[in-house]
Amino acid sequence: MHADELPIDAALVRRLLTQQFPAWAGLPIERVPSDGTVNAIFRLGDALAVRAPFVPGETGIRRQAQWTPVLAPALPVRVPAVRGIGVPTREYPSDWLVVDWLPGRTPVPGALTDPDAVTDGLVGFIRALWAQDPAGAPDAHHWGGLARDDDAVRRALADIHEVDTDTVLRLWERALAAPPHESVVWVHDDLLPSNLLVDEAGWHRGIGWAIVQAVVALPYYRHLNAGMTRMALHALRELVADASA
């Protein structure tokens, strides 16, 4: 999926564990099928998992290790606790994590048995996250507002034919025109779907972030990652349908 993608398999994970966490090196290791584009996931025994970035220099690993213990106690859902922080080696030049394994499955857009319950859970999660003190928090991926992604969004829209891009562009320009948020808060910058804000300007900004993710992901992953393509298309079609209603 990525030009500089690292070769990651179970044998590599076992070598890393042997070098850095030998107590876990003998546990069964199994690659977890995933549409994720940032980390390869391996189940480690019954209770643990390994998160290994596909590309070197991925900074989210360190942020997760630093902030999960701070935020997790106040959140209404369980998040994987970090059990070990792996460091780069000559063979694998990236940080990596050992975390709790959480049972469950990834929801498929449009096929949830109880979408209202999922929505309620996400809303509760976001409200709890917003309530946490943002002092010292790292700058978000989208720090600086939507305008920084304007060129990338417009370029990506030119390569999309599966949805009504005129409507998407109209939504995008409305999002650009929305005033900035009045205060600094914690956000999950990769929450999909992410349109869960209630004030009008916040709603338009939320649509904007959803557009950034979907229109940039769709042409890039169209022939590389079926799950990411499906998710991006679902988001765009829902946005277009809502705007046309």
CA distances (Å), 76 to each of 47, 126, 137, 138, in order?
A: 21, 10, 20, 22
The span from the CA of 70 to the CA of 120, in Å, is 23
Which of residues 238 and 209 earns the better pLDDT score?
A: 238
- The per-residue pLDDT for 197 is 30
- The CATH topology of domain 10-100 is Phosphorylase Kinase; domain 1 (3.30.200)
Mean pLDDT for the stretch of residues 147-157: 91
Whether the pLDDT of residue 14 is over 70: the answer is: yes
- Range of weakest confidence among 27-36, 175-184, 233-242: 175-184
Ranking 2-11, 119-128, 185-194 by mean pLDDT, the lowest is 185-194
Query: Domain segments of the chain: what residues?
Result: 10-100, 115-244
- How buried is residue 106: exposed, middle or buried, by Cβ count under 10 Å (0-12/13-18/19+)? exposed
Task: Express each pLDDT in 210-222 by its tens digit.
Answer: 888 888 888 888 8
Looking at the chain, the whole-number percentage of residues with pLDDT higher than 90 is 32
Here the tokens at position 122 are 């996400």
Average predicted confidence (pLDDT) for the chain: 83
